[in-house]
Chain A
Amino acid sequence: MRRILFILAFIGIIASVYAAFIYAPTEPQMGHIQRIFYFHMGTVWVATIAFIIVFIASIIYLWKGGRKWDILAYCSAELGVLFLTLTIITGSVWAKPIWGTWWTWDPQLTTTFILWILYIVYLVLRASAGNDTKKAKYAAVFAIIAFIDLPLVYISVRVMRGISPVVFGPGGGGIAPEMMNALLINMAACTLLFIILLLERIDLERMKDAVAKLKLSEN
């Protein structure tokens, strides 16, 4: 099962690179730099899913308890931060030639920056809690509160003045059909990669637990 996922993700990533760099047409106004868009969207899509998982897993953890939900939330948050970091980097590289700056405090960028900080804080909180379940629950409360910012990232760009483009949904300009195909391939590949990384990361966390148990039983 895991092996099939690996193979699918491998093919997916090669396909997404091909789709973004060769298959997708060149945007006439922005040129080749626009191709970053596919990776920018792919990573932010994964970050969004990851934070939704953190939110749901944290609620279940507080509600029903169970170390597996705690593990799921923590591992997913870690990947969420990783992918959001990639989103911010790709966005920055894109913005420099197009907007003329690496960064500006536009509503969407500001809310995204806050989102990034919030989940880094969550990671620090959860990591410092160790195997103290009470502190782990505090961290889960924090993760649930932090989630409030996620919809703001998407809403702010639509209701507030800014420089970030609204491409999709009402008021958005839309993209050429080939670009949409390239984007979907990229999002699918990123999702597969995320699932694999998440499963591996969860395994790692379980192994840590097993080692801790073994050490305890030896003493």
Chain B
Amino acid sequence: MLKGKLKFIIAIGVIALTVSYLVYGGVKDTMVYYLTVEELMAQVPTVYDTKVRVSGVVVPGTIVKDTDGALEFKITDGSQTIDVAYDGIVPDIFADDVEAVVEGVYAKNDVFEADTLLAKCPTKYESTDSLYEEKESTY
């Protein structure tokens, strides 16, 4: 009986430790899920070549797609802007004015070399009807 109890307590202990480790690890990494452009710039030059996640709004008209599929664009937090280079899968809703989250390193040539490009989805879900109304009114 005592053996069983001890086993049980050890099992709970192990589980509790694992869970707290998960919580700690999760919170540590996601306490700040991303940096703003301003925060990134404030960390130059120490931030060079370290992996970071940065978020900003895609500056309209800056998205350039190379023939080989590589992408270049600028993101901004309103005051500061950085260049981003990316080659990979592009989210469906990625476009001008969309809030993008990029993961990668800020290189010494001041270009953010992203290996992951995420787009934040809108928090407002509209009906398509309103779009049709707008279109009609412009005719």
Contact = CB atoms under 8 A, between A and B. Distances in A.
B27 A110 contact: yes
Contacts of B12: 125, 138, 142
Contacts of B118: 99-101, 104, 163
Interface in A1-50: 25-31, 33-34, 37
A165 B123 contact: yes
A89 interface: no
Interface stretch (A64-72, A166-174, A188-196, A203-211): A166-174
B70 interface: no
Given A97-B92, A167-B123, A113 B26 contact: yes
Interface in A151-199: 160-163, 165-167, 172-176, 178-179
Contacts of B8: 135, 138
A100 B15 contact: no
A29 B122 contact: yes
B131 A161 contact: no
B99 to A, nearest CB: 9
A105 B120 contact: no
Interface residues of B, number: 38
Given A107-B33, A114-B26, A173 B19 contact: no
Contacts of A135: 8
Contacts of A176: 125-127, 130
B119 to A, nearest CB: 6
A62 interface: no
A120 to B, nearest CB: 10
B107 interface: no
B91 A99 contact: yes
Interface in B34-88: 34, 55
B123 A114 contact: no
B105 interface: no
Contact of A100 (B19, B31, B116, B128): B116
Contacts of B119: 98-100
Interface string B97-130: 0000100000000000000111111111111111
A51 B134 CA distance: 44
A4 B2 CA distance: 50
A165 B122 contact: yes
A27 B55 CA distance: 24
Contact of B89 (A100, A113, A179): A100
A56 interface: no
B101 A105 contact: no
A101 B116 contact: yes
16 contacts: A29-B93, A29-B126, A30-B121, A97-B91, A98-B91, A100-B117, A106-B33, A113-B26, A114-B19, A125-B12, A160-B33, A161-B32, A172-B123, A173-B125, A175-B124, A179-B125
**Those 3 A-B pairs whose CB atoms lie nearest each other, nearest first:** A173-B124, A100-B91, A173-B123
Given A110-B29, A114-B23, 7 more contacts: A101-B116, A105-B29, A107-B33, A114-B26, A135-B8, A163-B120, A173-B122
